[in-house]
Structures are given as C-alpha cells and as structure tokens.
Amino acid sequence: MLAIIGGSGLYSLGEEFELDQQASRETPWGDTSADILIGKWHEVRLAFLPRHGPGHKIPPHRINYRANLWALHQLGVRDIIAVNAVGGISDDMPPLTLAVPDQIIDYSSGREHTFFEGGESGLNHVDFSWPYSATLRGIITETGLELGQPLVACGTYGATNGPRLETAAEIARLKSDGCDMVGMTGMPEAVLARELEIEYACLALVVNWAAGVEDRVISMPEILANMEQGIEKIKRLLLVAARRVPA
Ligand code: HPA
C-alpha cells in the first residue's frame, strides 16, 4: 500500500478521500503524529498521515519519526511519497517550484534517527548511497511531464533542525556543500523508511527563497500564501501519481 505523508500545508486529502480505517497512534516507539487514515482516494487505496499532527501542533524536531514510520510499516505500507515544504537555494528553485530530490545532507541533530539501537533492537548499517526510491521518483516526474506540471527532477535536500529558519551564512554554507533546497523534516524520515525497506520519495514544494538569497527577511505570510497555492498543484499531481504506484 502507498502512504502519503503530508507536510506543512497538506493536512488532509480533501472530501474525495473515503475513509475506511483509522489506525490508533500507539507504537513501541511512542505515538504517531496523528491517527493514520486509510481509505480510497479516487479508487486508490492508500494511507495518509499529517506529519505535524492535527492543526500543525508538532514542530519538526519533536515529530516522532520512528513511531510514524513504524506504524505505516505495520499497516502494510511499502511505498511512501512524502510532501515537504522547503526553502529554495539554487537559481532553479524559486517559490512554487516542485522538486523531487535525489540526494540529502543531514544537518539535523538530537533526533531519534534509527531503529537499530543495539541490544534487542539489533545493529545494522543500511546502505543509503541513494536515499530516495528511483521508482517512485520516476513515477512522480513522469506524471509531472504528462500533466504539463513543470518540476525539477533532482537536487540535494539539506535537512536542518529548525524550528528557526537559517542564517544567510548557513545557507551560503549549504549552497557550497551542494544543497539545492533546505527543509526541516527530510531527516530522519528518509533513513527510517530505508531501515524498514520502504520505498520512499520526497515531493518538495518551495515556499520561499532561503535566507540571504534575496536581500530581505523571509515573510511568513508569503510562505503561507505560497503553500496554499502550491499544495493544490501537489494534490493534482499526487492524484495521478498514486494510481501508478504498484498496489
Ligand atoms: N528553511 C528551512 N525549512 C524550510 C524553509 C527554509 O527556508 N522553508 C520551508 N521550510
């Protein structure tokens, strides 16, 4: 089954989503961000989980990524498309760009970032050379092409800790490291999916220029307006992409 993890701005799949199961939040790793909703979205059976919880109450560093991924896996989820709002760093990442990153650099810290804690939970060093699923990335980018929805088909996601935005110097450093976009929720979600052998791709929505790219401060009202506009594009894309993910 496919799951969609909704990021900032994507808190539900709308009225067309026909709910038939609501999974409880408890896992051995603590509680998920919200109940996981399972149902049909235009004939496709899938699971939906809003990462920040109902009403966007959980900040990026407090999300229980392990519980979220564990619960999805227990429900039989084998593919995840994760939606993430990001700041644009590269020239080809202005606000409202959709992007499907193919690499990630983790600058986050202090997060529970593995299921392999040693002892009873075991020890493993998973391969993470290519952190995102090539199959899912292909489905998303081909769907974009077909729908005439431009998107940037690769790029490096820099995962910062938040909840504050970055300094201009931090973004200059990320840029010289090769980051094209910056967000706060890309990790450890991606690696936890890999540890559970779930196919995982990120569909990123640029909602602002990252700090210092423009000579002005970042405006929250602008971010929210871009989010609202961009999420509609994302829903249209996901609706078609979801049908193409093998059941
Ligand atoms: N930085 C980090 N995370 C973000 C940003 C940003 O500029 N915009 C949206 N999420």
Question: Ligand 1 mean position to 13 CA, how many Å?
Answer: 23
Report DSSP state, residue 160: -
Give the position, in ligand 1's atom list, of the atom nearest the Cα of 218.
7
What is the spatial distance between Cα 145 and Cα 69, in angstroms, rounded to a whole number?
30
* Ligand 1 mutation pick, 8, 166, 222, max ligand atoms within 8 A of CB: 166
Confidence of residue 54 (pLDDT cuts 50, 70, 90): confident
What's the pLDDT tens digit per position in 142-171? 999 999 999 999 999 999 999 999 999 999
Atom of ligand 1 nearest to the CA of 208: 8
- Distance from Cα 227 to the centre of ligand 1, integer Å: 12
- In this prediction, residues 1-19 reach a mean pLDDT of 93
Ligand 1 atom index nearest CA of 166: 1
The fourth-level CATH superfamily of domain 2-244 is Nucleoside phosphorylase domain (3.40.50.1580)
- Does the structure show a pLDDT above 90 at 247? no
Checking if the pLDDT of 121 tops 90, the result is no
Can you tell me the mean pLDDT for 44-65? 94
Query: Which pLDDT score, from 0 to 100, does residue 153 have?
Result: 97
* Euclidean distance between CA atoms 239 and 234, whole angstroms: 8
* Averaged pLDDT for residues 21-41: 95
Helical spans, DSSP H, in 24-151:
65-74, 134-147
Distance CA 8, CA 227 (A): 8
Cα 165 to averaged position of ligand 1 atoms, centre (Å): 6
Overall average pLDDT of the 208-233 stretch: 96
Q: Indicate if the pLDDT at residue 93 is higher than 90.
A: yes
Vertex 1 angle, CA 35 and 181, to 5°: 75
Distance 246 CA to ligand 1 centre (A): 32
- Report, as an integer, the average pLDDT of 30-38: 97
Res 59 pLDDT > 90: yes
With a cut of 90, say whether residue 56 has pLDDT above it: no
Q: Whose CA is nearest to atom 7 of ligand 1?
A: 87
Q: How confident is the model at residue 177 (pLDDT cuts 50, 70, 90)?
A: very high
Of 179, 182, 202, the residue with max ligand 1 atoms within 8 A of its CB, to mutate for a pocket test, comes to 182
Residue 207 has pLDDT above 90, yes or no: yes
**157 CA from centroid of ligand 1 (Å):** 11
Helix (H) or strand (E) holding 203: strand 199-209
The answer, as to whether pTM is greater than 0.75, is: yes
Domain ranges of the chain: 2-244
Residues with CB under 6 A from ligand 1: 85-87, 160, 165-166, 182-184, 207-208, 210
